[in-house]
Structure formats: C-alpha cells, structure tokens
Amino acid sequence: MDRRTFLKSVVAAGATLVVKTIGATTVLTERFEQTADAAEGEAALGTVAPDLVAVMGGTPAAMFQKAIAEFGGISTFVKKGQKVVVKPNIGWDKTPDLAGNTNPELVGEIVKQCMDAGAKEVVVFDNTCDEWQKCYKNSGIDQAVKKAGGRMMPANNESYYREIKLPRAKIMKKAKIHQAILDCDVWINVPVLKNHGGAKMTMSMKNLMGIVWDRRYFHNNGLQQCIADMCTLDKKPALNIVDAYRVMKDNGPRGKSAADVVSGKALFMSRDIVAVDTAAAKFFNQIRTMPLEDIGHLANGQAHGLGTMNIDKLNVKRIRM
C-alpha cells in the first residue's frame, strides 16, 4: 500500500465512522475489518448489511449466492484489478463426501464470483496436513478452482512463507505467513465446520493455521491461545464463510469414514470471525453437545477484541431455502 492509498483509506474510514454514528446504528462490536470499500457497498444497497448471515437448505453455491447478496454482492469486498486469496480448508487427502475439506463447489463459486467482479487473480492454497498434491486433487478443490478461473498455489515449502510480527498476541508473537496472504489485496476465509480432537472445533479462526508454516508451535504452546493470537494478524480476512453443507461430527478433523459425516446443508457468513464461529458452533450443538466454553479460542478471540460471542445482540439475517 502506498502513502496515497493509505491516506485515502484513513479518510474514508473516518468518514464511515461518522456516517455510522449519525445514522444511530448500534455498533456493538469493534469491527476492525470494516473497510471503506465495504461501506460503499452497503451504501449502494441502500440498507445496512447484517452482521451475520445464516442460510439453510440449499446447495453450497446457491446458499453462498443468497448470503453474499445480503452484503451487496461480492463486489462489496472485491474490487476490479485486485489480487484476491480464497483460503479454504484443504488439510486432508479426502474426497468431498467425507467432509474433511471445504466443499469444492462452494470454493469454485466464490472464485468464480471474484473473477466476475474483476479480480486480477484469485489464488487458493492451504498448508495441508496430508501430502499437499493429493489433498489439492482429491478434495476436488484443484479442479473446481481451475474451472472457475482461479489458481492453486503451492504451500509445501518454507520458502513460500515470510515472518511477520503479531504485536497484539499473548503467546505467539511472530509467525511465518504464506506470501499469498501477505501480497494480496483482499482475502476470504472459507473453513469447513468440523469437530476437532484438540481444539474441540475447527472453523474460521482455526482455519488460519493453514496460512502459517509451523503448526507444531500452536500445539506446543497452548493451542487455544495461539489460534486467537494468529487471528490478531493485521491483514484480516474480509469475509469468513463457514461451510456446513456436510459436517464432520466425530473423529475430526481427519475423520474415519462417512459415518462421521452429517448433512448440515447450512452456511454462515460474517466479517466478524468470532461471531461466525460462535454461530457455527451453536449450529453444531444441535448435532452433538459441544460447550462453547470448551472451545477456548472463541473466548480468547473475544478477549483480543476480534469480535463477539454474543451473537444474540447482532443483526442476524436467517434465510431458509
């Protein structure tokens, strides 16, 4: 970002805040990720976009289309000529029906819309757990992304990562982040909703582990705090989209068989990373009891001021299809 664009955005952000206060909108949460661009989108829509959108009952692509329309379309977030990163969960060498990775149809649709909105390029990657090429291919994401006009980027080598500082973090004060994230204009976080043996649940916040090179550090130094620390990254995802079309209820995050998978047919979308995860976790509680206080990184994230767990106070839009 050069000085001119920086100044511009500071001015624009200031203006947005003023507009917000005059409009007597209740701003319950500090929305760090609120950008000038997003405000423009809302203004174009003529209404105030919801804080959180929850959709049920459609196909992954259709649910995304409904939800993004509530925010004024993808062009609210993605501008012409921008470099975009879409970061799904591609952690495992699993086929889509086993719900180990984000739904390829959803990822494909997001990439397609970003391209249609005039993005210069859309890059997709994940630092996988299983051998990366098998993950990219067998998850169906490689094919879906390429078909939609996006690019898959490798993340298998340390040289793709650059170290940054995390000044607001409690434990993990620095991390090596994938260059695609550091070099892009905007990025979209697209996790899949899964049970997780260690972190209890894996959703938007946990998905940020896939942009970091050394994941052992998280496990060795207090997983729940490190996940929240990672989310204090300056360059936050513009949007978090939790894929709950298929939900892994047990044996996660890898899963043993199709018996671990429940058909959720839902999707949650928000700029607030803590709120969207709270909503998804509450949805998950209908499948299996999972106390929110056990999912430590949610409270830790709230303490960092990354968002709110109190979703009842938010402007939530519920859509059934």
Which residues are near another protein by CB under 8 A?
A: 54, 56, 93, 121, 123, 129-131, 133-134, 151-154, 156-160, 196-200, 215-217, 219-224, 251, 253-254, 256-259, 261-266, 278-279, 282-287, 291, 293-294, 296, 311-312, 316, 318
Q: Which residues contact 208 (CB under 8 A, 6 or more apart)?
A: 189, 227, 230, 231, 233
Measured CA to CA, the distance from residue 246 to residue 256 in angstroms comes to 15
Least separation in angstroms between CB 283 and another protein: 4
CB-count burial class (<10 Å; 0-12, 13-18, 19+) for 96: buried
Tokens 């423009």 identify what position? 40
Least separation in angstroms between CB 227 and another protein: 9
Least separation in angstroms between CB 217 and another protein: 7
CA distances from 215 to 153, 221, 222, 285 (A): 19, 10, 12, 27
Which of 239, 207, 199, 228 shows the shortest CA–CA distance to 68? 239
Least separation in angstroms between CB 47 and another protein: 22
Give 39 or 85: the residue with its C-beta nearer to another protein: 85
Give 45 or 299: the residue with its C-beta nearer to another protein: 299
Give 13 or 153: the residue with its C-beta nearer to another protein: 153
Least separation in angstroms between CB 226 and another protein: 9
Give 131 or 234: the residue with its C-beta nearer to another protein: 131
Least separation in angstroms between CB 43 and another protein: 29
Q: Which residues contact 158 (CB under 8 A, 6 or more apart)?
A: 176, 213
Give 8 or 219: the residue with its C-beta nearer to another protein: 219
Give 8 or 288: the residue with its C-beta nearer to another protein: 288
Measured CA to CA, the distance from residue 156 to residue 192 in angstroms comes to 21
Q: How many CB atoms lie within 10 A of CB 160?
A: 17
Least separation in angstroms between CB 166 and another protein: 19
Tokens 């920086």 identify what position? 6
> With contact defined as beta carbons under 8 Å apart, do 186 and 77 qualify?
yes
Q: Which residues contact 319 (CB under 8 A, 6 or more apart)?
A: 53, 54, 55, 56, 66, 67, 70
Give 134 or 174: the residue with its C-beta nearer to another protein: 134
